[in-house]
Structure formats: C-alpha cells, structure tokens
Amino acid sequence: MEIHIVQHELLHVIGLWHEHMRYDRDQYVRVLRQNIAPGYESQFKKISSSESTVYGLPYDYRSIMHYSKTAFAIPGTITMETRDPRYMNVIGRQNDASRSDYLKVCQIYGCNQCNGEECVDKFPKLCVAVKQYGLLDCNGNDERYCCATCKTLTQRERVDPFDSSYSDYYDDY
C-alpha cells in the first residue's frame, strides 16, 4: 500500500472528511453526478455546515483528502471538475498531506505550534521569491510550499525567480 493512501485513511481516523465534501465545495468544484459509477454516489455527498466545519480555512485543492477528477467515474469520464481550470490536474494527485490538512488536525486536537518549535519556511529560497514577486500564495492554494508566512526580505536576499534552481520547488502540473 502506498504511503499517501495510508496518510489519507489515517486522517479519516483522526477526524477529517474529504475536502470535496465541504458544504461550500460548489464554489470550487462541480460534481458530475451522471458520471459517478453506480453505488459510489455517497462518496460525493456534501456535509452540511451543521454537521461539519471548514476550520476557517480556504478550500484546498492540494489536500490529500481530495479525490481526483476521475475518482469512482464511469470509464472514460470524470466525476469532478474544478471551477478554476488551473486545478483540474491538481486534485487527487498529492503524495503528502497539505499544510491545510495539518492545520485542521491541529485545530481538532488543540495544537498551536509545530512540534513545540516556531514554524520555519520549508523552502526558504522559494519563499524569498514568493515574497519578492508574489509567485505563490503562501496563505492560500499554494501554502504547501511554506510552513508559515515567508520571512521579510532584506535587500541582500532578493533573488531572480526565473533562476533554474527554483524548478526543484514546483510540481509538474
């Protein structure tokens, strides 16, 4: 069994629902019910706001708890499409929990720190480019690249965001 599947199932045990089942999901994805394989309709139900919470976090296309566009689809079809087409090939392709997934677990269990230490940026060079050029949204859909907010830049830290060394920090989709 692959580690991302174990992580996904463990997050269910801990208390997380599928991201695409959020009560506000229709703003972000469209479920194509006619393409769902018979018997799997319940995998796409919305959970009402009275039965769940979104923890004050934005919709996370990169959540390990999000199904792919072809999950439980009749062969040759898709069951979900993102309202923002840039995320069509992002949903359901994660190999690790997102920052948002971890933040939800922290809220469920009352954690307020990263392993008892102050958060640090996961990809410091990338965060410099993010802060300087606004290439990614550290507090939104691209938050997986930074643990916390990107550090304030000094003039010495400014970089060329088109330097090929940054390609290591981006996924291929």
Give the residue numbers annotated as catalytic, written as ranges.
9
Half-sphere exposure of 136 (CA within 13 A, CB side): 22
Cross-strand partners of 117? 114
Let me know if 93 is exposed, middle or buried by CB neighbors in 10 A (0-12, 13-18, 19+): middle
CB 4 within 8 A of CB 64: yes
Q: Is 18 annotated as a binding residue?
A: yes
User: With the C-alpha atoms ordered 125, 127, 131, 136, is the resulting torsion angle positive or negative?
Assistant: positive
Q: Is 66 annotated as a binding residue?
A: no
Q: Is 8 annotated as a binding residue?
A: yes
What are the binding residues for Zn(2+)?
Answer: 8, 12, 18
